[in-house]
C-alpha cells in the first residue's frame, strides 16, 4: 500500500455517501520527481474520494491520510486517491513498497484497498500454468462453513498413517476476515508445518498465493503449490442473521460446485454441535443443510462420525445427538450427496488435542463441544483416504 498525506484544496461533486476532493500531496507519487517541491516542482494535485459515512465530509485546508496505491501504479480505480481518515500533525507514514509486479486489487474501492501479485494475473510467473488449467485431477477438496473447522480438518487429514506427509492448502474465501494475517490459526498451522500453503481468494488477501476466485485458488493449490488436498473455508468471523439465507457460510455450497466443476473430489464438512443452545444449530446446523441441499448443485461426499461408545459418552454428545444427526442426514442424501460413515474413536480426539492451533468455535472448546471438532476431523480423515485412491481420468 502506498500512503500520502494530502491537503484539501477544494471540494467537488457529491452524491449519496461520497464526495470528490482536490488535494495536494505532501510527496510526489513514485516515478514523478517533477512534482517534488524540494526540487523546485509544484506539489502534485490529484482527485480524492471520501466516503462521507466512513470518514466524514472534509473541508478545504483539512489534512488527510490517503491511500494512493492505484494512482501510484497507474490504474484506473476511478482515478482517485482514497481518503482513509484525517492526518495528525507529525504523522509518520510507512515507506513506499518496493517496485515490483502485481496489479490485482483486493478490498477493492475501499479506503484500505491493497495491491497484490495474483498467481493468475499476466505478471505472475505462474500465469502460463494457470491460463488454460481446468482440472484438479481428482484432488480432494474439503469444504467447511466456519474458519474454526480448519484446524480440526487438518488434524483429521494428519490422523491416519502418512498424513503428516500430505501437502495441505488452505483456500481462504472472503466471507469473514479479509486479511489472512488476522488468523492466528493459519499462522500457528503454518509455523508448525501442518499447513503447506495459504491461498487467499476473492477480496481476501495476504496468503502465500493470491487468486481472483475459488476456482483459480484451487487450481493454484494443485498446479502451483503442488498440494495433495485443499481445505476451503472463510476467514475468521461468520456473518449470520438467524435467517435461512442470510449468512456468509452459504458460499460453502458454491465451493462444492467449484471443486466438482474442476474435477476435484468435494468433501462437505458438516457444521455440527451438541452444545449450541439454538435449535437451528443443534445437531447439523441449518447453515450446512441449506448450503449443501440448496446451493451445492454437484454431489459431494459428506462424512458423518460413527462414534464409539467412548466418544458418544463425551460431554454434549450421547445417543440423542447421534440419532438427531442421522435423522438430519436424510435431506443430504436426498439432495444427491454420498453419506460416508467414518469411525470416530478416542485416538482421533488425541490427535485433535495435538493441534498447534487452538480449537474453539462459538466460544466453546473441544471438551465443551467435541462433536463440532470430531465432525470436522472425520471430513479430513475421509479426504486423506481419498488421496490414496486412484482417480478416474477426465476427458
The span from the CA of 139 to the CA of 219, in Å, is: 10
The span from the CA of 40 to the CA of 275, in Å, is: 69
10 Å CB burial of residue 362 (0-12, 13-18, 19+) is middle
At the fourth CATH level, the homologous superfamily of domain 3-109 is EutN/Ccml (2.40.50.220)
**CATH number of the structural domain 127-387:** 3.40.50
* Extended beta strands in 97-228, E state: 104-106, 114-116, 140-143, 168-173, 197-200, 209-210
pTM above threshold 0.85: yes
Per-residue pLDDT in tens (0 to 9) along the chain, 395 residues: 999 999 999 999 999 999 999 999 998 898 766 666 565 566 789 999 999 999 999 999 999 999 999 898 888 666 799 999 999 888 899 999 988 888 899 999 999 999 999 999 999 999 999 999 999 999 999 999 999 999 999 999 999 999 999 999 999 999 999 999 999 999 999 999 999 999 999 999 999 999 999 999 999 999 999 999 999 999 999 888 889 888 898 999 999 999 999 999 999 999 999 998 898 899 999 999 999 999 999 999 999 999 888 888 888 998 889 899 989 999 999 999 999 999 998 999 999 999 999 999 989 999 999 999 999 999 999 999 999 987 765 54
The number of residues making up the chain comes to 395
The span from the CA of 186 to the CA of 356, in Å, is: 10
Query: Do 236 and 151 touch, CB atoms closer than 8 A?
Result: no
The span from the CA of 215 to the CA of 198, in Å, is: 14
List the one residue out of 140, 377, 378, 386 whose CA is nearest residue 256.
Answer: 140
Query: Do 339 and 333 touch, CB atoms closer than 8 A?
Result: yes
The span from the CA of 138 to the CA of 150, in Å, is: 21
Q: At what angle do helices 370-387 and 150-159 cross, to 10 degrees?
A: 50
The CATH 3.40.50 portion of the chain extends over 127-387
The CATH 2.40.50.220 portion of the chain extends over 3-109
Amino acid at each position: 500500500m502506498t500512503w500520502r498525506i494530502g491537503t484539501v484544496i477544494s471540494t467537488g461533486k457529491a452524491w449519496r455517501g461520497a464526495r470528490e476532493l482536490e488535494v495536494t500531496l505532501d510527496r510526489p507519487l513514485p516515478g514523478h520527481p517533477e512534482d517534488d517541491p524540494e526540487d523546485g516542482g509544484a506539489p502534485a494535485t490529484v482527485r480524492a474520494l471520501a466516503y462521507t459515512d466512513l470518514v466524514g465530509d472534509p473541508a478545504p485546508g483539512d489534512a488527510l491520510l490517503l491511500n494512493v496505491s492505484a494512482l501510484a501504479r497507474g490504474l484506473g480505480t476511478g482515478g482517485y486517491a482514497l481518503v482513509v481518515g484525517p492526518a495528525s500533525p507529525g504523522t509518520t507514514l510507512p515507506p513506499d513498497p518496493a517496485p515490483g509486479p502485481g496489479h490485482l486489487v483486493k478490498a477493492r474501492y475501499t479506503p484500505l484497498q491493497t495491491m497484490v501479485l495474483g498467481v493468475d494475473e499476466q505478471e505472475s510467473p505462474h500465469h502460463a500454468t494457470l491460463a488454460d488449467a481446468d482440472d484438479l485431477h481428482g484432488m480432494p477438496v474439503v469444504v467447511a462453513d466456519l474458519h474454526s473447522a480448519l484446524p480440526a480438518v487438518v488434524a483429521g487429514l494428519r490422523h491416519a498413517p502418512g498424513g503428516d506427509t500430505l501437502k495441505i492448502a488452505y483456500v481462504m474465501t472472503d466471507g469473514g476476515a479479509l486479511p489472512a494475517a488476522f488468523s492466528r490459526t493459519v499462522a500457528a498451522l503454518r509455523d508448525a508445518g501442518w499447513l503447506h500453503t495459504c491461498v487467499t481468494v476473492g477480496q481476501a488477501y495476504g496468503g502465500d498465493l493470491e487468486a481472483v476466485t475459488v476456482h483459480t485458488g484451487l487450481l493454484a493449490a494443485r498446479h502451483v503449490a503442488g498440494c495433495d488436498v485443499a481445505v476451503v473455508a472463510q476467514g475468521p468471523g461468520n456473518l449470520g442473521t438467524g435467517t435461512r439465507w442470510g449468512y456468509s457460510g452459504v458460499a460453502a455450497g458454491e465451493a462444492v460446485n467449484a471443486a466438482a466443476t474442476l474435477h476435484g473430489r468435494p468433501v462437505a464438512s458438516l457444521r455440527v454441535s451438541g452444545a449450541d443452545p439454538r435449535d437451528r444449530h443443534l445437531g447439523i446446523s441449518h447453515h450446512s443443510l441449506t448450503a449443501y441441499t440448496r446451493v451445492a448443485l454437484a454431489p459431494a461426499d459428506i462424512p458423518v462420525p460413527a462414534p464409539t461408545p467412548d466418544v458418544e459418552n463425551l460431554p454434549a454428545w450421547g445417543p440423542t445427538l447421534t440419532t438427531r444427526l442421522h435423522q438430519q442426514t436424510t435431506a443430504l442424501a436426498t439432495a444427491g450427496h454420498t453419506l460416508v460413515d467414518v469411525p470416530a474413536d478416542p485416538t482421533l480426539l488425541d490427535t485433535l488435542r495435538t493441534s498447534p492451533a487452538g480449537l474453539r468455535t462459538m466460544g466453546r472448546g473441544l471438551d465443551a463441544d467435541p462433536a463440532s471438532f470430531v465432525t470436522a476431523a472425520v471430513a479430513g480423515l475421509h479426504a486423506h483416504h481419498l488421496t490414496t485412491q486412484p482417480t478416474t481420468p477426465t476427458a
